[in-house]
Amino acid sequence: MLERLWNGWRAAYVAGAAAADVASDAPLVGGSVFTQILASGLSDDEAHIVFRGECCFAIMNAFPYTSGHLMVLPYREVAELEDLTTDEAADLWATVTDAVRVLKAVYRPGGLNVGVNLGRPAGGSVSQHLHVHVVPRWAGDANFMTAVADTRTLPEALADSAAKVRAAWIALQR
């Protein structure tokens, strides 16, 4: 059984409607959690959006595997890669490439995982809104806490990660 460490800064997300999106296959009224965030009127700082492009944006994962865990996704809610327009697909992969550059600059990881889960059986917790995970990794980051206690530890608050990543993304664009 997965144990949890107290991370009070995550309480607002967990208590919100977004939790229903993770727990159910049923479409949410108003769209996916990502569509709801985009329509919420929250500032990018409040929503942890770190980059906005022409067709896609990057947002910090509210349930990160490690500090710096990003997701890149199109503004338009689509479930499958083949449903993207040519412009969306080009912008998505260009943004993923920039996300890799940014995370390498900010965190200096030993490696990165870049992946897409298409459909709930593939591990897609928000399967109706395609998103690409970009996750910095280090040798030994699956430490004893995960192996023995089935718990992840995160050394940095989500807002702090977002601020670092956003600043690096701005610097990359210059």
Could you list the active site residues? 131
In angstroms, the CA 118 to CA 103 distance is 24
DSSP state of 83: G
Residue 27, C-beta contacts closer than 8 angstroms, at least 6 positions apart = 128
In angstroms, the CA 31 to CA 59 distance is 17
Supply angle C-alpha 89, 102, 167, rounded to 5.
115
The answer to whether 51 and 167 are in contact (CB under 8 A) is no
HSE value, Cβ hemisphere, 13 Å, CA-based, for 100: 12
